[in-house]
Amino acid sequence: MSSGIKKIIPNSIKQNDVVGIVAPASPFNTEELYKGVEIIKSLGFKVNIPQDIFFKKKYLAGEDANRARIINKMFADKNIKGIMSAKGGFGSMRLLPYIDYQTAKKNPKLFIGFSDISALLSAYYTFADIMTVHGPVVTSLAAQDAETIKSFYDTVTLKSDINLKIENGVVIKQGKSEGSIVGGNLATLCHLAGTAYQPDFKDCILFLEDTSEKPYKIDRMLTHIKFAGYFKQISGILLGSFDNCGQIQDIYQIVADKFKKESFPILAGFKAGHDKTNLSFLIGRKAYLNADEKRLSFENVL
């Protein structure tokens, strides 16, 4: 499906609503999970933790079919109002053939995560036509700051007036643009290129972040997805954190060189990704990017 199809905005997660926890990717630290759960509860939400998410199979949180079955069941369950990933790591893209997109489309809910979970965020947005949330996973919540927690709460409750000044933003290419904000982890999205799950970013502001990738690998991945057509007809690029990826100025220079002939704006320094601050946003939400003023604002979805 193309990005031109109108996307479904799931209901917000309200006080006393139940958030279901799933494990689409790697096994997780149980202590970190429960610390994250306490933060979710402190925000006024209830939590449903299926015992099957504690399964392990080498570097995965159980069999592919079982991990997907839990997610599909969460979407079908009327008592679950939002779904949050326990951890990233690796494994989400293995689930894409097992996901019941029609059930998700009939029962739209905010699906939350980042990093490796970007594969599912993209797939639900593309094939179930529902907006998803690029935000923390449960195990990361306890280690993140108050700004992250507030942003997470504002996003899942669909707060209307979000207007962000990116104080430490770096203007790579000047200009203004608007479009649905999409994207996620660069390496994960790169591995969807050329598959049946390759997303369509036409008329969108593309967000990218990554961790522990050397600059030449960032260059290689950007080159790959450029060849795959990811950047055709996008309206802008927003860069998040590139934690442990070498000198950040080297990353910015790679991006500047890669898009020197393009007309769309590029703003770096948005605090989302694998750093202590990981701001949340709704994938598919109409956004306005003003690189000149280092500002990002979102259209009211209610």
Q: What is the pLDDT of residues 207-260, one digit of tens each?
A: 999 999 999 999 999 999 999 999 999 999 999 999 999 999 999 999 999 999
The CATH number of residue 54's host domain is 3.40.50.10740
Question: 189 with 263, same domain?
Answer: yes
Whether 8 is covered by a domain: the verdict is no
Does residue 48 contact residue 87 with C-beta atoms inside 8 Å?
Answer: no
pLDDT at 1 over 60: no
pLDDT for 4: 58
96-128 pLDDT, tens digit each: 999 999 999 999 999 999 999 999 999 999 999
pLDDT at 21 over 80: yes
Does residue 26 contact residue 138 with C-beta atoms inside 8 Å?
Answer: no
Question: 142 with 51, same domain?
Answer: yes
Question: 22 with 149, same domain?
Answer: yes
% the chain with pLDDT above 90: 93
Secondary structure of 259-282 in the HEC alphabet? CCCCCCCEEECCCCCCCCCCCCEE
Residue 113 sits in which domain range? 18-156
Question: 179 with 139, same domain?
Answer: no
Whether 7 is covered by a domain: the verdict is no
Of 156, 181, 213, the domain-final residue: 156
Does residue 182 contact residue 204 with C-beta atoms inside 8 Å?
Answer: yes
256-301 pLDDT, tens digit each: 999 999 999 999 999 999 999 999 999 999 999 999 999 999 988 8
Of 156, 184, 219, the domain-final residue: 156
- Alpha-helical (H) ranges within the chain are 30-42, 64-76, 101-106, 118-127, 138-141, 146-156, 186-190, 215-227, 248-258
Does residue 129 contact residue 2 with C-beta atoms inside 8 Å?
Answer: no
User: Beta-carbon neighbour count of residue 157 at 10 Å?
Assistant: 17
pTM, rounded to two decimals:
0.96
188-198 pLDDT, tens digit each: 999 999 999 99
Question: 26 with 86, same domain?
Answer: yes
Question: 146 with 189, same domain?
Answer: no
pLDDT at 5 over 80: no
Q: Give the model's confidence band at 2: pLDDT under 50 very low, under 70 low, under 90 confident, else very high.
A: very low
Of 115, 141, 156, the domain-final residue: 156
pLDDT for 161: 72
Q: Indicate the number of domains in the chain.
A: 2
Question: 140 with 211, same domain?
Answer: no
Does residue 79 contact residue 45 with C-beta atoms inside 8 Å?
Answer: no
